[in-house]
Structure 1
Amino acid sequence: TATQQHISTTDTQTNIKFLIVGDGPLREELKEQSKDLGIEDEVTFTGSRQDIPEIMAALDIFVLTSIKEHFGRVVIEAMACGKPVIATNSGAVPEIVEDKVTGILVPPEDSEKLAEAIIELLEDKEKAKEMGIAGRKRVEELFSIEKHTRQIEEVYLSLLSS
């Protein structure tokens, strides 16, 4: 498949490891696919985990490949950890990830663009670092507790003044 071909292109890089966190209906299919590609030693399936901050700290790049993603809280978590994000242009994700600034948005189900984005950030570590810094700043500006508290206060004040 196209996905297999493009994942295989990453073998030109050195020391690439894929960490797939969580459980779901595609887990066994993905395990089988990693075997078929001969990359099962480079892919770790963690299952469901509670130590997400530690996992995020170990990543160089965070990738979300959802076909449909309604909000993408995990993207905010990755950005808060200073990780550059590659995600599908789906749901609210484009409102969170600023394309080419805090990460790279790719069309859903486009394995070629996804592979290109991964390789781009693996090869350009400075760009990846800058995107991670910009992502953390964006999360602090848009999703801070202070901002949300202020917004809730404004709603209450407008209701009280009506």
Structure 2
Amino acid sequence: MKILVIWRLLTVGGVNAGWRNRAIYFKKHGITAEFLYCKDLGGMHMMKDIAPVYLTTDEQVIHEILTKNDYDAIIVVDTSKAYDWLAKADYKGPVIIEARTPEIMKLKRNLEGCHQIQPQKFIVPSQHQKRVLSILVNESAPIEVIYNGLDTSFFRPLENEEVHVQKEPIAPSNKKVVAYIGRLDVRKNWRLLLKIAELVKKEREDIEFWVIGGAKSVERQQFEDERKKQNLTDIIRWFPVVPYHEMPHVYAKIRQSGGCTVATTRAESFGNTFIESMACGVPVVAPNVSSIPEIVTDKKTGYLFREEHIRGAAEQIYRIVDHQERYEKLSKSARERVEQMFSISHCANRYIEVLQEVTRKGTEDES
């Protein structure tokens, strides 16, 4: 089987991390995945050695890709232009729509024109996202929840001697590391992170915040300006580019310090960094919103706080870093939850079943 995944943005975020993991797993099971992106936002290093990648907005080139590669199925991820491309190419094969945008108005825009291609199935990464999508599509629309999967042999608690201790970010010797991982934009809500760090700075001297990523984020300059303006450069260290293959080592350094990861996001349809962190034995502190309670089990794999609650977030961080015995339980439970719920074999096998269903149905329809 050969499939094409269309998404407009080649980022280092969760969508591409999830598809990277799937593509590797699919290949072992006889499914070749190819990818069509419109814009590279720093994610090429994640995908280029995994699968063929097309990076173009040229409609003639896209037309040739769609008509000459004989795809068994095409998956469209939050890209409304793709429906026009498929219609113009007169593509007759099965189409699956992945609806991942958690903001309902943006999701509505991303679905505009999808009636042109009559998708066989909608796939979403959480029950929460299914509820969001259900508002926008016909009540009979076939919506399937398939969580993002993770290679738990790659994302795992590393032994001390395995960790790349001399590579950035280099862990401080006497502080707990609390890491924010991801984009710097309105939805990810980095401004709340600065407020949390400001409060922690007044109360503690044993915590250091890391910001991992954001090199090509829309608000990277605003973040840097505010970090300096608020005199937080001593407590918040920023590492704009960390290669994907180094992330298990980053999580290992956080775990060695007795720290955690923290999210301040306003909405998530899933959140790959949560399962990466948990797979590496690092507890998560995150707001109790959207899909997050499906992923992070409060008081077992981390702690949830009320949305926008600065004091609540700080207290949950303290609850983790101040109790070593509790930390070990959280760490163990976090790893176990990922192995049980979010392993790539568990999640990708269901995706393969869906692909087999839609391609088989397409063959039956033709006959």
Shared fold per TM-score greater than 0.5? yes
1:57 correspondence with 2:57:
no
Aligned position for 1:102: 301
Structure 1 vs Structure 2 CA RMSD: 2.8
Residue number in structure 2 paired with 1:22: 213
The code of the aligned residue for 1:44 comes to R
1:140 alignment partner, SS class: helix
* More divergent stretch after superposition (66-75 vs 43-52): 43-52
* 1:7-156 alignment, distance < 5 Å: 7-11=197-201, 12-23=203-214, 24-50=217-243, 51-59=246-254, 60-148=259-347, 151=350
For residues 2 and 79 of structure 1, what CA distance do their matches in structure 2 show?
22
Q: Secondary structure at the match of 2:199?
A: helix
Aligned 8 A contact 2:261 2:277 in 1: yes
Quick one: structure 1 residues 126 and 10, their matched pair in 2 at CA, closer, same or farther if it must change by over 3 Å? farther
Change (3 A) 1:68 1:16: same
Deviates more, 1:98-107 or 1:31-40: 31-40
Q: Which has the higher strand share?
A: 2
Shift of 1:31: 2.7
CA shift in 2, pair 1:116/1:26, >3 Å: farther
What is the TM-score when the length of structure 2 is the normalising length? 0.39
Deviation at 1:87, TM superposition (A): 1.1
**1:103-153 residue CA offsets vs partner (Å, 9 max, x unmatched):** 111223222211121122222232233212111010011122443366468
Q: Which moved more, 1:118-127 or 1:150-159?
A: 150-159
Aligned residues: 160
CA contact (8 A) 1:84 1:129 kept: no
CA contact (8 A) 2:320 2:326 kept: yes
Return the alpha-carbon distance in structure 1 between the equivalents of residues 198 and 249 of structure 2.
28
* Whole-Å separation in 2 of the counterparts to 1:67 and 1:53: 25
- 8 Å Cα contact 1:2-1:112 kept in structure 2: no
- Report 1 or 2 for greater relative contact order, CA contacts < 8 Å, sequence distance ≥ 6: 1
Indicate conservation of the 8 Å contact 2:269/2:291, yes or no: yes
Q: Deviations over 1:34-72 (max 9, x none)?
A: 334433122111113212112111112011111111111
Question: Greater helix percent: which structure?
Answer: 1
- Alpha-carbon distance in structure 2 between the residues aligned to 1:114 and 1:33: 20
SS in 1 for 2:252: helix
The structure-2 alpha-carbon separation of the partners of 1:104 and 1:26, relative to structure 1 and needing over 3 Å to count, comes to farther
8 Å Cα contact 2:261/2:285 also seen in 1: yes
Superposition deviation, residue 76 in structure 1: 0.4
| Structure 1 unaligned blocks of 5 or more | none
* Mapped contact 2:251–2:280 kept (Cα < 8 A): yes
* Higher deviation after alignment, 34-43 or 114-123: 34-43
Q: Secondary structure at the match of 2:210?
A: strand
Q: Would you say the 8 A contact 2:192–2:308 is kept in 1? A: no
CA deviation vs aligned residue, 1:85-106 (integer Å, no higher than 9, x gap):
0012223211111111111112
Unaligned stretches of 5+ residues in structure 2:
1-190, 361-367
- Indicate if the aligned counterparts of 1:76 and 1:139 stay in contact, CA closer than 8 A: yes
